[in-house]
C-alpha cells in the first residue's frame, strides 16, 4: 500500500543530524525556553525577511489563539474565516473569546472568497483569519484591500503553508500576525506538537512572549493573564534541522505536484498563476464520485486523504453557530468532492506513477 503520508523516509534521511541536535540539548541540560528556542525563533523570523519577529508556542491552535488575543480580540468580537479548514482554526477563534463567522470559498482554489468575506462583515467584525489551505496562498491582496479600509485585523493561518509566497513575498508577512503549526505532518514538522506566531510588530511580539509564559514579564511579575504555551528545546533543535532543508523539501513537493498534474490535469484544482508559490502541503483532486474513486484507489494499493469531509459549520459541535446545510454551498460541494493524493518527502517516481494509474483507471460514471 502506498501510504497517504509516511514520515519514516524523512526520519531515516536526517537521522544523524537529528540525533546530533537532540544530543546537544541533552548535554546542555536546558529544556524549556532555552538557547534552541531563541535560535529557532530568530532563524524562522529571518527566513521570512527582515523586521519579522517569531515566537514559538506549544501548537498551531495556540498560535492562532494567542495571535488573536495579542491583537486585542475580546469576548463577543466576530472573526470571519473559511468553513473549509481544519477545526482548530475555529477552536482557536472561540478560545480567544470571539464568535466565528464563516464566509464561503472560491471553488477553483478552495480558499476564502474575498467577495464572500466582504459580504460577511458586520458592525461587530474585528478580524479575518484567511487560511492558506493545502499550501496555496489565499488571495491576500484582495483580502487586505477589503480588511484595511474596514479597520479589520488580519491573522493568517499558515499551518499548511510554510514558505509559500505571493509575488516572492512569504505568506505570514501580509497580515498583522500569522500562525504556524509544526505538527509532524506539516511541511515544517517537529516530532511532537509545536507552533509559532510571526509578526512585524515588536510590541505584539513582546506581549505574546508574556502570554505564552503565564503572562510573566520579569520573573514573578504578571501584568496580564497568560497561559502555558511554551515549546521545548528538543523540538526546536529538530525544527532547526528541518528549517535548513525546507527549501529543498518545498522543491520536492512541487516536483511531485507537477508529476501528478501532468497526468491528472483536468481532475486537479486550478493551477496557481506564476506569481503564487504554492508549497503543496496537500495535492488535491476533485471528483463527483470521490468516495467511489477513493475505494477504487485503495483496492489498487494507493492511499489517500480527505481535507475535509465536512466543512466546520456542518460539524455537530458547531451546529449552534447557525450556519445551516446549504448556507455555504461551495464549501459543502468541495467537502463532498476533494481527495488528497499521497505526498510526502521521499515518495518515489514509481509510486507517483502507480497512484496516477489507480486514479486514471477509475471507470467514468462508476459509483
Ligand atoms: C494543523 C492546522 C492547525 C492546527 O495546528 P495544531 O498544531 O495541530 O494545533 C490550524 N489550522 C490549520 C489549517 C491546520 O492545518
Question: Per-residue DSSP letters for 190-211?
Answer: -SS--EEEEES-HHHHHHHHHH
User: Which domain-ending residue is among 180, 212, 240?
Assistant: 240
**Could you list the residue range(s) of the whole structural domain that residue 160 is in?**
8-240
Cα 357 to averaged position of ligand 1 atoms, centre (Å): 31
Kindly state whether residue 366 falls inside one of the protein's structural domains.
Answer: no
**Cis-peptide into 37, omega within 30 deg:** no
Q: Are residues 259 and 169 in the same domain?
A: no
Q: Which residues contact 8 (CB under 8 A, 6 or more apart)?
A: none
Q: Are residues 113 and 170 in the same domain?
A: yes
User: Which domain-ending residue is among 210, 240, 270?
Assistant: 240
Kindly state whether residue 3 falls inside one of the protein's structural domains.
Answer: no
Kindly state whether residue 118 falls inside one of the protein's structural domains.
Answer: yes
pLDDT per residue as tens digits for the range 53-76? 999 999 999 999 999 999 999 999
Asked whether the beta carbons of 63 and 179 are under 8 A apart, the reply is yes
pLDDT per residue as tens digits for the range 211-255? 999 999 889 999 899 999 999 999 999 999 999 999 999 999 999
Rg (CA), the chain: 20
Asked whether the beta carbons of 172 and 178 are under 8 A apart, the reply is yes
88 CB less than 6 Å from ligand 1? Answer: yes
> 263: which 3 cell numbers?
497526468
The domain that contains 153 carries what CATH number? 3.40.640.10
> 24: which 3 cell numbers?
546537544
Closest CA to 188 of 109, 262, 281: 281
Cα 63 to averaged position of ligand 1 atoms, centre (Å): 9
Minimum CA distance residue for ligand 1 atom 7: 60
In the block, which residue shows the cell 520579569?
218
| Count of domains forming the chain | 2
Secondary structure of residue 153 in the 3-state scheme: strand
187 CB less than 6 Å from ligand 1? Answer: no
61 CB less than 6 Å from ligand 1? Answer: yes
Question: Measured at the alpha carbon of residue 73, what is the angle toward residues 67 and 77, in degrees to the nearest 5?
Answer: 135
The domain that contains 286 carries what CATH number? 3.90.1150.10
213 CB less than 6 Å from ligand 1? Answer: no
**pLDDT per position in the chain (367 positions), as tens?**
999 999 999 999 999 999 999 999 999 999 999 999 999 999 999 999 999 999 999 999 999 999 999 999 999 999 999 999 999 999 999 999 999 999 999 999 999 999 999 999 999 999 999 999 999 999 999 999 999 999 999 999 999 999 999 999 999 999 999 999 999 999 999 999 999 999 999 999 999 999 999 999 889 999 899 999 999 999 999 999 999 999 999 999 999 999 999 999 999 999 999 999 999 999 999 999 999 999 999 999 999 999 999 999 999 999 999 999 999 999 999 999 999 999 999 999 999 999 999 999 999 765 5
> 186: which 3 cell numbers?
506539516
Give 246's DSSP letter. Answer: H
Closest CA to 264 of 133, 364, 355: 355
Tell me the whole-structure pTM to 2 decimals: 0.98
Q: Are residues 205 and 300 in the same domain?
A: no
Amino acid at each position: 500500500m502506498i501510504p497517504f503520508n509516511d514520515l519514516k523516509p524523512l526520519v531515516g534521511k536526517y537521522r544523524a543530524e537529528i540525533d546530533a541536535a537532540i544530543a546537544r540539548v541533552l548535554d546542555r541540560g536546558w529544556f524549556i525556553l532555552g538557547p534552541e528556542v531563541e535560535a529557532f525563533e530568530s532563524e524562522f523570523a529571518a527566513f521570512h525577511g527582515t523586521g519579522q519577529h517569531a515566537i514559538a508556542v506549544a501548537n498551531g491552535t495556540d498560535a492562532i489563539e494567542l495571535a488573536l488575543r495579542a491583537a486585542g480580540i475580546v469576548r463577543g468580537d466576530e472573526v470571519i474565516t473559511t468553513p473549509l479548514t481544519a477545526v482548530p482554526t475555529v477552536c482557536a477563534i472561540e478560545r480567544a473569546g470571539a464568535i466565528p463567522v464563516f464566509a464561503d470559498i472560491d471553488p477553483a482554489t478552495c480558499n476564502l472568497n474575498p467577495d464572500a468575506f466582504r459580504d460577511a462583515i458586520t458592525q461587530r467584525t474585528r478580524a479575518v483569519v484567511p487560511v492558506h489551505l493545502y499550501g496555496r496562498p489565499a488571495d491576500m491582496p484582495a483580502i487586505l484591500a477589503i480588511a484595511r479600509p474596514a479597520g479589520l485585523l488580519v491573522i493568517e493561518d499558515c499551518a499548511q503553508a510554510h514558505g509559500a509566497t505571493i509575488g516572492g513575498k512569504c505568506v505570514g508577512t501580509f497580515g498583522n500576525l500569522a500562525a504556524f503549526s509544526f505538527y509532524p505532518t506539516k511541511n515544517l514538522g517537529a516530532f511532537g506538537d509545536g507552533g509559532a506566531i510571526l509578526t512585524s510588530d515588536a510590541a505584539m511580539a513582546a506581549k505574546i512572549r508574556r502570554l505564552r509564559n503565564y503572562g510573566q514579564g520579569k520573573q514573578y511579575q504578571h501584568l496580564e493573564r497568560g497561559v502555558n504555551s511554551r515549546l521545548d528545546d528538543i523540538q526546536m533543535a529538530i525544527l532547526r534541522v528541518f528549517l535548513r532543508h525546507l527549501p529543498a523539501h518545498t522543491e520536492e513537493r512541487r516536483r511531485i505536484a507537477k508529476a501528478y498534474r501532468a497526468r491528472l490535469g483536468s481532475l486537479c484544482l486550478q493551477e496557481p498563476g506564476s506569481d503564487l508559490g504554492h508549497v503543496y502541503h496537500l495535492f488535491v483532486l476533485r471528483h463527483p464520485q470521490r468516495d467511489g474513486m477513493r475505494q477504487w484507489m485503495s483496492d489498487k494499493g494507493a492511499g489517500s486523504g480527505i481535507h475535509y469531509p465536512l466543512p466546520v459549520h456542518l460539524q455537530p459541535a458547531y451546529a449552534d453557530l447557525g450556519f445551516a446545510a446549504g448556507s455555504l454551498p461551495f464549501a459543502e460541494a468541495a467537502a463532498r468532492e476533494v481527495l488528497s493524493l499521497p505526498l510526502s518527502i521521499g515518495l518515489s517516481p514509481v509510486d507517483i506513477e502507480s497512484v496516477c494509474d489507480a486514479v486514471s483507471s477509475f471507470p467514468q460514471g462508476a459509483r
